[in-house]
Structure 1
């Protein structure tokens, strides 16, 4: 019996070890927070930014990667994951461009333009606790089309 339990646990981990994941099973949710290596945190952060900023799957991105009691430092959005989803879902199809993103020391940064009327530039910062995004700050400024630099930031 112990052998069967061990074999089941081993075969469940093989797809991730071999690099091909079983798409019929949902991945382990990032939240509630669990311990994560810096590399795992970076992968989780980039998965969140792809789902949120690129795919524009706002509720799914927040349900998958953001803690329910997440701290919001934008005064126009209430506290917690549900308040953020409600506020951000009002205009989910905003045309945006990510200019730069990086992750270091439990914190991810996304610099992006949103082509609303008027266009704006935003720097979002997300702090993680283990595997889960738990806090957000942003800086928002008006953007004129003349301000878009064809070489905005170098690596």
Structure 2
């Protein structure tokens, strides 16, 4: 599986289907998180989004573009509501290691 395919599958299963346990397939246990709102490690990521999916049961991300260079993939996406309206624009940057997400940075642009 390519790095882009790993990310596409992760977004579908984890973020859009809300299958928290799918992180075990796609995210390293020692996952490094550069977003100060989420703690370090795969289990912290799972906890953070398990809570988010309870408070936002319609949470959904649409990937618009991916750019890959070596072991790094940048993902431009939109958080959309059930009608497809953009709630937020996001750029996620991942470093992959051995076919799993190892490190993450992000930039968010809320829509007003």
CA RMSD of aligned residues (A): 2.0
Contact 2:16 2:59 in 1 (8 A): no
3-state SS, counterpart of residue 91 of structure 1: helix
Larger relative contact order, structure 1 or 2 (CA cutoff 8 Å, min sep 6): 2
Q: TM-score, normalised by structure 2?
A: 0.76
Gaps of 5+ in 2: 82-86
Contact 2:21 2:46 in 1 (8 A): no
Q: Which residue of 2 aligns with 1:125?
A: 93
* Greater gyration radius: 1
Gaps of 5+ in 1: 1-38, 145-155
1:91 Cα deviation from its structure 2 partner: 2.0
Q: Is the counterpart of residue 65 in structure 1 residue 30 in structure 2?
A: no
Higher strand share: 2
1:82 Cα deviation from its structure 2 partner: 0.7
